[in-house]
Amino acid sequence: MGLDLTIRDLKVTSPRGRDILSVPQLDIAAGSLVGIAGPSGAGKSTLLYALAGMLEAKGCIVWNDTDLLTLREEQRTAFRASHIGMIFQDFLLFEELSAAANASLTSLYRPRAQRAGIRQRAAERLAALGLKEPDRSVASYSGGERQRVAIARALSANAPVLLADEPTASLDRAAADKLITDLVALARTSGTTLIAVSHDQHLIDRMDRVLTVSDGKIVEPRGQAA
């Protein structure tokens, strides 16, 4: 179910031509839990967005045998829809919709045949994450609950890869710890590759492997060799 990631000679430049990220080589095995640490502005989120095919870049970003950088934008979007789930620091939910509707958001645009399955999985993920009233508007939820809805949304499409950008940054310590436990458990049980950018040491400590990014470069690979 997982996807192996292979990066070669990745270069992301700013519109003014300045190098903002340079990764000569990086391999991540399917099903790994990888933390990306480093100071603010170092290029962590840039790396994450590049892995999702949301940035123009040079080099190769290959998920199994699909090189994202050779795809047209619409093909990359389609790839994300079926292979990558995303979690953001400030949840990015539709506040006016219920938790269930947010979690099954992708069912609105996925092929008709997949919609029921997405809704079903979204309900299961919400239940697994301890959200008891899925029909309530997320506007009434706490930060921790909202991020759980976002996680359920990311997992509802059965994506083999989960990219998380500072998933605990908006949460208090207790909520963050509970979320980390659930996120890691869900990723492990489903065999999902989790790549999380975070300043949260509690989250980083739970990862199989940690990459430290500084000044646009991966400078301190720990654990499994990069």
Partner 1 sequence: MMDLWYDLPVAAQDLLAVIGLLLPALITGVVVLRGHTPWPLVKAIIWRFRVPSVMFIVLIAVSVGLGVGLLAQERGLRKGTAQAADKFDLIVSAPGSELSVMLAAVFLQPSDMGLIDGETYNEIAATESVAIAAPLAFGDSYAGAPVIGSTAEFVAYLTDQNVEGAIFADHEEAVVGALVPLEIGAQFTPAHGMTHIDGGAEEHGVSFSVTGRMAPTGTPWDRAIIVPVEAVWEVHGLANGHAPEAGDVIGGPFDAEYFPGTPAVVVHAEALWANYALRSTFTRDRETMAFFPGAVLAGLYNVMGDVRQAMSVMALVTQVLVAVSVMLGLFILSRLFRRQVALLRALGAPSRFVFAMMWSFSAVLLLSGAITGMLIGVGAAMVLSQIVTAQTNILVTAPLGWQEIQFVAGFVSVTLLISLLPAAVVLRQPVVEGLRA
Q: Residues in the site for partner 1, rule: CB under 8 A? A: 49, 52, 54-55, 74, 77-82, 84-86, 88, 92, 94-97, 101, 105-106, 108-109, 153, 157
* Nearest by Cα to 122 from 150, 162, 81: 150
C-alpha 69, offset from chain centre? 18
Nearer to partner 1 by C-beta: 42 or 84? 84
CA distance 186 to 25: 28
Whole-number minimum distance, CB 92 to partner 1, in Å? 5
* Nearest by Cα to 58 from 109, 20, 107, 108: 20
Task: Name the amino acid, one letter, at 224.
Answer: Q
Check: CB of residue 129 under 8 Å from CB of residue 162.
no
Whole-number minimum distance, CB 90 to partner 1, in Å? 9
Whole-number minimum distance, CB 221 to partner 1, in Å? 25
Nearer to partner 1 by C-beta: 94 or 191? 94
Whole-number minimum distance, CB 56 to partner 1, in Å? 9
Whole-number minimum distance, CB 204 to partner 1, in Å? 22
Nearer to partner 1 by C-beta: 54 or 179? 54
* Nearest by Cα to 205 from 174, 184, 226, 187: 184
Nearer to partner 1 by C-beta: 1 or 221? 1
Residue 34, helix vs strand vs coil: strand
Whole-number minimum distance, CB 39 to partner 1, in Å? 18
CA distance 103 to 220: 36
Nearer to partner 1 by C-beta: 73 or 133? 73
Residues paired with 137 in a beta bridge = 98
Nearer to partner 1 by C-beta: 78 or 181? 78
Task: Name the amino acid, one letter, at 11.
Answer: K
Check: CB of residue 10 under 8 Å from CB of residue 177.
no
Task: Work out the burial of residue 116: count CB atoms within 10 Å of its CB; fewer than 13 is exposed, 13-18 middle, 19 or more buried.
Answer: exposed
Nearer to partner 1 by C-beta: 55 or 210? 55
Whole-number minimum distance, CB 43 to partner 1, in Å? 13
